[in-house]
Amino acid sequence: MNIYDFTVKDNKGEAVSLSVYRGKALLIVNTATRCGLTPQYEGLEALYKKYQSRGFEILDFPCNQFGGQTPEDDAGITEFCTINYGASFPRFAKIEVNGENTDPLFVWLKENAPEEEADEVSRAFEERIKAFSPFTSPDDIKWNFGKFLIDREGVIRIRYAPVAVPEKLEGDIESLL
């Protein structure tokens, strides 16, 4: 099984096969609209504008599992992201990334990704959020804005911590293009 075997729902409820992204470098992100990390949308959009013409896509998967920080429905999420950040990359239906109702894509991502890259900042962030998150297993998505970078062959190359700002991913993205 690989990334192209999955079908997900877009933000209008329509099925989308991820095979439409075959041959592209992907950044898959679980996002939130009311989180302290939500301003990362600005950096994500900048990356998208800079690299999309070279075969790069960002796939946005909103999630409400971390402190209820994505209360809107799919239409409200899209409106928020467009108005506040001009986010134009593909957005999908709100999903769960941990627990018994984890979306199959995120089950696969967590099982097949290399260990999350962690620096001092991300380790400190993880310590701070332990009191707010019931998700404590090593493979769990830790919070909003966890990221997975996938190469053009569909192989997960890097798993980033939520606090990894988009600007810091540029070199890794460049290497895949």
Strand stretches in 46-171, DSSP E? 56-62, 147-150, 156-160
Instruction: Give dist(CA 40, CA 69) in Å, integer.
Output: 14
Which of 27, 35, 47, 156 does the annotation list as catalytic?
Answer: 35
- Selection from 40, 162, 159, 44 nearest residue 109 by Cα: 159
Q: Is 63 an annotated catalytic residue?
A: no
- Residue 26 contacts residue 150 (beta carbons within 8 Å): yes
- Amino acid identity, position 140: D
- By annotation, the residues acting in catalysis are 35
